[in-house]
Amino acid sequence: MQSQHWAEGKGGVIAIEEENMDSKRVQETKGKIRDAFLELYKQKRMEKISIKEITDKAGINRGTFYVYYTDIYDLKEKVEAEAIERIREHAIPVVRGLIRSQKIDMKLLPKEFFYEEQSILELFFGESAEINSVNKLKKIMQDTVTEMFGLKKDVVDWEKSSLKYALEYVSAAQLGVIGYWFRHKMELPMEELGKRLEEINLTGCITYMIKELKVQEDREKKPV
């Protein structure tokens, strides 16, 4: 069954028919738009990207873009929403495992996702990442932690509770470390990153730094 969609064309508003908004052809077109946008997003800030650049890179006309998105910000919002669901699927089991056993299960680390979907992760961890995008991930992490500890929002007065500072610290710290790792070309194997995060979380940041400084001092004292 065909449905009709209206989009802006060179001659004004035009009608474009699509057989099925979930069809393979539609998904391929949306994929081209998404990939073009993500490639440009790695190179410049959001406000510097034009629809013409996206459509030229995707190999489609301007009218086709408007079939699926109202503007660039709508495109970013939808790409982000899709990415967040995938991050939730891959990352939340790691957070749950850490809370349950106080140990990161290395088998749960989303290695393939991080290494294969770097263009999507640029939205949250890249140089051009916007604070509201990062905050969406923080919200997911905070909700997961509160759920795991049984902290019901209708019971705890978050405005008066000091727990909100702990939640902010934990979520911002994890995402900050992951973002730093991502921007430095993921120089550590993910297992090593996981071990370091686990130790920092469970021993405390200051204790971890003191220990690492002692290791460095001992290394420098050893004769060459």
203 and 100 inside one domain: yes
Q: Judge whether residue 15 has pLDDT over 50.
A: no
Q: Judge whether residue 112 has pLDDT over 80.
A: yes
61 and 92 inside one domain: no
**Mean per-residue pLDDT for 131-157?**
80
61 and 117 inside one domain: no
For residue 114, is it within any domain?
Answer: yes
In contact, 109 and 191? CB cutoff 8 Å: yes
For residue 31, is it within any domain?
Answer: yes
Looking at the 3D structure of the chain, how many domains does it have? 2
Nearest to 182 by CA among 119, 126, 113, 111: 126
- Residue 154 pLDDT grade (very low, low, confident, very high; cuts 50, 70, 90): low
- Residue 14 pLDDT grade (very low, low, confident, very high; cuts 50, 70, 90): very low
Q: Judge whether residue 86 has pLDDT over 80.
A: yes
214 and 108 inside one domain: yes
Tracing tokens 């099925």 back to the chain, one arrives at 20
**Angle in degrees, 0-180, between the axes of helices 24-43 and 118-125, rounded to the nearest 10:** 50
140 and 191 inside one domain: yes
Q: Judge whether residue 17 has pLDDT over 60.
A: no
What's the mean per-residue pLDDT of the chain? Answer: 83
pLDDT reported for residue 198: 87
CA 53 to chain centre: 24
- pLDDT tens sequence across 18-30: 445 568 888 999 9
pLDDT reported for residue 4: 47
109 and 11 inside one domain: no
For residue 75, is it within any domain?
Answer: no
54 and 98 inside one domain: no
19 and 97 inside one domain: no
21 and 101 inside one domain: no
| 119 or 5, higher pLDDT | 119
23 and 105 inside one domain: no
pLDDT reported for residue 33: 96
Nearest to 9 by CA among 66, 72, 73: 66
In contact, 167 and 146? CB cutoff 8 Å: yes
48 and 117 inside one domain: no
- pLDDT tens sequence across 26-70: 899 999 999 999 999 988 888 899 999 999 999 999 999 999 999
**Mean per-residue pLDDT for 173-190?**
91
- Residue 9 pLDDT grade (very low, low, confident, very high; cuts 50, 70, 90): very low
Residue 102 structural domain: 86-221
For residue 41, is it within any domain?
Answer: yes
